[in-house]
Structure 1
Amino acid sequence: MGSPSEILLGTTDHGLGLILGIAGACRTDELVNLTVDDIEDVGSSLIAKIPNTKTKIPRIFVVTDVGNMLELFRKYLSLRPPHVKHKRLFLYYKAGKCSSHPVGKNTMGKIPSVVASYLKLPDVACYTGHCLRRSSATLLADAGVDITTIKRHAGWKSTTVAEGYVENSIENKTKIANQVF
């Protein structure tokens, strides 16, 4: 899985998977199926395309350079061995080396639990790959983004489904309390 510092600093597939998963409200299989051709580095940001989605509607999202995320992406790509015959973005990375073997759905789905374990959160097993979509929706809602934008971002057609992904976070409860008082 990589050391905790590798995971959080993005020097493994876990760090980049976490960044892309939350930035794009991605399903685990969408991350697994990302190819190097699906991510375009345009200098000041990354444009990511999810061509194959559960709803059959392709999505596009952008990753900006907040927190040196572009540097992490570029570093990850630079570790890619030249002999890799496939285009899958995520490759198995261990002990400072990147192999040609693609990361599978189960490994990708464990990213949130690995991060939760590092952060010493309770109930680590509850943190699954689906947490990336839920976290993305909750962060957007907590930032005051309207439900239509959240639906568009994650590719949900139903408002009810989109609202079901938004956690009732302490940050949101605090905003409400401040508005009440």
Structure 2
Amino acid sequence: MSHVDASLPSIQYDWRAEFKRLEGAYAPSTIRAYYTDIESYLHWCAAAGRAPLPGSIETVCEYLMEQGPKFAPSTVRRRLYAIRKAHRLLRLPDPTYDEEINLTFRRIRRGKLARPRQAKGMTREYLDQFLAVQPDTPWGVRNKAMLSLGYDLLARRSELVALTVDDIEFRADGTLRVLIRRNKADPAGLGRVAFTSQRTGRLVSDWLKWRNAGYAPLFCPIYQGRPLDRSLSDTTLRRLIKSTAKNAGLDPQDVADFSGHSMRVGAAQDLLRAGHDTAAIMRAGGWKTTNVLVRYLENAEHNVWA
């Protein structure tokens, strides 16, 4: 984890020691976000000459208002939750439940009238282009398998890089049965089962034939032409999607709109175009509510009903 620099004031409470208690109870990405958000809050308090822990209602409100113009409401809300978690772990009086905090956040949210930016969907058409431009190298073999599998599973990037060899099963027809063990909507890790196309089964088989069979992670880094026995980072997957879009010769604005969510978005849009209803798409992608899914499907609606 990163460290607060020497310019921060001396703080009586060892919040890092307390945050270690979260390990195993929260996803690593959530814990990293908490660390980042608390450090942001501490830096702001240092510059403003405010006591951060315990923080006053006024201090937290001013911090949130300062963050509001810079970040999306979801980011500001996450930083509020991080401040709340720090106070609760340290068993300090928690200012974040005061009604003034709620009113402050509502002002921030109402002040952001722009719609959330939607990732561009990696639909089947784009997937075919992305697979076609992969190089004839071990990296290309891995990337083809990863992109095709991510599309078929409607996978979040964190789900895709977390897959292990034990999570996939080759079926007699050349397809795969895949157990997605855990995601942010399934903290208990009950998982969901998904199936793939024969093309994806073939591409994953090609990848596994190249890499060491004794490695647990399904997708791993490659260094100097050799696989490493560890999982890829979700950042690597995001960079892959953007660089592949660029190599496919897409418009720069389209390249900018692709993200780590593009596989999930594009596959959902294709399912809608194919005539599947919202309930079926929710089951396929493991959505618990329609809030996010509806945004994903907006760009597909015109083609369906035109």
TM-score if structure 1 supplies the norm length?
A: 0.81
| Counterpart for residue 116 of structure 1 | 245
Aligned-residue Cα RMSD (Å) equals: 2.5
How far is 1:126 from its partner? 2.2
Letter of the 2:193 counterpart: I
Please say which structure displays the higher CA radius of gyration: 2
**Percentage identity across paired residues of the two chains:** 29
Q: Of 277, 288, 294, which residue of structure 2 is paired with 1:163?
A: 294
The alpha-carbon distance between structure 1 residues 14 and 167, as it changes in their structure 2 partners (threshold 3 A), is farther
Q: Secondary structure at the residue paired with 2:195?
A: strand
Please give the alpha-carbon distance, in whole angstroms, between the structure 1 residues aligned to 2:303 and 2:283.
Answer: 26
Q: Which moved more, 1:99-108 or 1:130-139?
A: 99-108
In structure 1, what residue type is equivalent to 2:154? A
1:130 aligns with 2:258: no
**Which secondary structure does the structure 1 equivalent of 2:299 belong to?**
coil
Change (3 A) 1:83 1:37: closer
Note if contact 1:39-1:47 (Cα within 8 Å) is conserved in structure 2. yes
Rounded Cα–Cα distance in structure 1 between residues aligned with 2:281 and 2:233? 28
- Alpha-carbon contact 2:134-2:144 (below 8 Å) kept: no
Alignment of 1:1-181 (within 5 A): 4-6=133-135, 11-44=140-173, 45-56=175-186, 57-65=190-198, 68-82=199-213, 84=215, 87-93=216-222, 97-122=226-251, 123=253, 124-169=255-300, 173-177=302-306
TM-score of the pair, normalised by structure 2: 0.50
Select the structure that is richer in helix. Answer: 2
Task: Identify the structure with the greater strand proportion.
Answer: 1
Shift of 1:26: 0.7
Residue by residue over 1:154-175, the C-alpha shift from the partner in whole angstroms, topping out at 9 and shown as x without a partner, is 1112223211111424xx5344
For residue 93 of structure 1, report the CA deviation from its aligned partner: 3.4
**1:79–1:97 CA contact under 8 A, matched in 2:** no
Select the structure with the greater relative contact order (CA < 8 A; seq sep ≥ 6): 1
Give the 3-state SS of the residue equivalent to 1:100 in structure 2: coil
CA distance in 2, matches of 1:62, 1:134: 17
Give 1:102's aligned amino acid: S
**Aligned partner letter, 2:296:** Y
Count residues in correspondence.
168
Q: Answer whether contact 1:18 1:111 (CA < 8 A) is retained.
A: no
Residue deviations 1:36-95 (CA, integer Å, cap 9, x gap) = 000101131100110111111511110121xx33221111011122564xx111012367
List runs of 5+ in structure 2 lacking aligned partners: 1-131
5+ residue gaps, structure 1, are none
Instruction: Determine if contact 1:35/1:89 at 8 Å carries over to the other structure.
Output: yes
